[in-house]
């Protein structure tokens, strides 16, 4: 119990220094080196290695195993983990899994408790893949965890590697604008993601080539990407497909506006009553109240965020 408390307060301390979800906070010496994933050729040729390889495949081709026509079970919406955790969860600032093994169990303010890797994976299944959780002891869960542990084995416990998670993005000084975002979407995203955000499948029952961005087969309203800052950060360093944090394609402003457009459109609704037990820890761009401040849901969804940040954190 003592150990758990100490651990949770350390992790909480790290988190509380970075209230807007800056996931790249590191001791100074590590700051320059962006983490590079170990080579898959170094996965051992053993039973454990097979588990790791299966875990990787579950990240890349989630739908094949767990989607609507899944070979193992049907518990998710047809998206793949890799759609948001790019290059099998290894891309710098592509929401990679490098620091998962080194930072979990982690205190997370959304649940208000210390979360295991399994709980965090199931969070994405229930929210980002609008589906159902995996049993912790299932072959699939053990494989995904084994892959994440293998990926992060060179990162010391308690550290978060540079390039994990999403890139930093300063708040926009105005509210993000869905109308401007719409015109960017039409020019730069629609060709792959479709004019109704529906994505593109190989065939009616086949896997997605381009994942949906809104609508019934997309992530639900309880997902991390439904928060405008996460979406803007993801897009800034990764989209249109091929962009990187070193060579972004959209400007910061365009990233905010496109994110505003995407979150203004319909998608599956899901509400978890137990989320954010302490509303003081709710991120300021969480689009659903109640809040500990006087700003309304509209402003918490689209901004301007600087007045909220000033009123709540300074
Ligand atoms: C629609 C996009 C999306 C999909 C699909 C998705 N995730 Fe995530 N995931 C996110 C976002 C965004 C975050 C970070 C959220 C935050 O910090 O608020 C995240 C965070 C995570 C984390 C924590 C990472 C860390 O460093 O703390 C894990 C583990 C994870 N996801 C696993 C999975 C798994 C496994 C799948 C597939 C079953 C999956 N995710 C599918 C968007 C997605
Ligand atoms: C050349 C095709 C292409 C273009 C253009 C493109 N994307 Fe994507 N997008 C993809 C692919 C492919 C993925 C999934 C990546 C993977 O699985 O490796 C993706 C994934 C995403 C995701 C996460 C998964 C989801 O669907 O929610 C978002 C959000 C996204 N793109 C936003 C955008 C935005 C915004 C633009 C325009 C600025 C854009 N994309 C332009 C191909 C494209």
Q: What per-residue confidence (pLDDT) applies to 204?
A: 86
Task: List, for residues 169-218, the tens digit of each pLDDT value.
Answer: 999 999 999 999 999 999 999 999 999 999 999 998 889 999 999 999 99
Mean per-residue pLDDT, 234-242: 97
40 and 88 part of one domain: yes
For residue 310, being part of any structural domain is answered with: no
Count Cβ atoms below 10 Å from residue 86 Cβ, excluding itself: 21
Q: How confident is the model at residue 123 (pLDDT cuts 50, 70, 90)?
A: very high
For residue 303, being part of any structural domain is answered with: no
pLDDT over 50 (residue 299): yes
Instruction: Look at ligand 1, atom 41, and give the residue with the nearest C-alpha.
Output: 81
Relative to the CA of 59, which ligand 1 atom is closest? 37
Q: Which residues are near ligand 2 (CB < 6 Å)?
A: 80, 82-84, 86, 188-189, 191-193, 210-213, 218-219, 234-235, 239-241, 250, 258
Number of structural domains in the chain: 2
The Å distance, Cα 90 to ligand 1 centre, comes to 12
Confirm if 59 and 80 have CB atoms less than 8 A apart: yes
For residue 292, being part of any structural domain is answered with: no
Confirm if 13 and 5 have CB atoms less than 8 A apart: no
Pairwise CA distance, residues 82 & 87, whole Å:
6
Alpha helices in 128-251 (DSSP H): 139-151, 178-188, 190-193, 228-238
Alpha helices in 61-193 (DSSP H): 62-66, 86-89, 100-103, 117-126, 139-151, 178-188, 190-193
Q: What per-residue confidence (pLDDT) applies to 205?
A: 85
119 and 227 part of one domain: no
20 and 146 part of one domain: yes
pLDDT-above-70 percentage for the chain: 89
Choice from 95, 100, 286 to test ligand 1 binding pocket (greatest atom count within 8 A of CB):
95
**Strands 106-108 and 208-210, how do they pair?**
unpaired
Domain that holds residue 79: 2-24+34-151
Instruction: Look at ligand 1, atom 15, and give the residue with the nearest C-alpha.
Output: 224
Tell whether ligand 1 has an atom less than 6 A from the beta carbon of residue 223.
yes
The Å distance, Cα 19 to ligand 1 centre, comes to 18
For residue 252, being part of any structural domain is answered with: yes
Token reading at 162: 């540079």
Model-level pTM? 0.92
């Amino acid at each position: 119990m003592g150990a758990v408390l100490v651990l949770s307060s350390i992790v909480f301390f790290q988190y509380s220094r970075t209230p807007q979800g800056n996931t790249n906070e590191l001791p100074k010496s590590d700051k320059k080196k962006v983490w590079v994933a170990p080579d898959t050729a170094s996965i051992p040729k053993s039973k454990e290695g097979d588990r790791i390889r299966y875990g990787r495949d579950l990240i890349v081709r989630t739908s094949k195993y767990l989607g609507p026509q899944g070979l193992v079970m049907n518990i998710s919406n047809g998206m793949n983990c890799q759609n948001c955790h790019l290059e099998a969860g290894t891309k710098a600032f592509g929401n990679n899994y490098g620091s998962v093994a080194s930072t979990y169990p982690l205190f997370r303010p959304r649940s208000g408790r210390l979360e295991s890797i399994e709980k965090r994976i199931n969070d994405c299944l229930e929210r980002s893949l609008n589906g159902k959780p995996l049993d912790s002891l299932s072959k699939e869960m053990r494989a995904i965890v084994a892959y994440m542990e293998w990926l992060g084995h060179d990162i010391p416990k308690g550290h978060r590697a540079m390039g994990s998670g999403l890139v930093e993005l300063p708040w926009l000084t105005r509210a993000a604008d869905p109308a401007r975002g719409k015109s960017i979407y039409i020019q730069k995203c629609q060709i792959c993601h479709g004019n109704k955000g529906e994505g593109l499948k190989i065939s009616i029952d086949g896997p997605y080539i381009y994942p949906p961005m809104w609508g019934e087969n997309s992530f639900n309203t309880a997902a991390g990407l439904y928060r405008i800052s996460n979406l803007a950060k993801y897009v800034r360093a990764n989209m249109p497909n091929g962009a990187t944090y070193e060579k972004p394609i959209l400007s910061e402003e365009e990233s905010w506006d496109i994110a505003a457009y995407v979150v203004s459109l319909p998608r599956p609704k899901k509400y978890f009553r137990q989320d954010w037990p302490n509303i003081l820890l709710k991120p300021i761009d969480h689009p659903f109240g109640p809040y500990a401040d006087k700003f309304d849901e509209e402003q918490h969804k689209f901004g301007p965020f600087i007045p909220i940040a000033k009123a709540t954190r300074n």
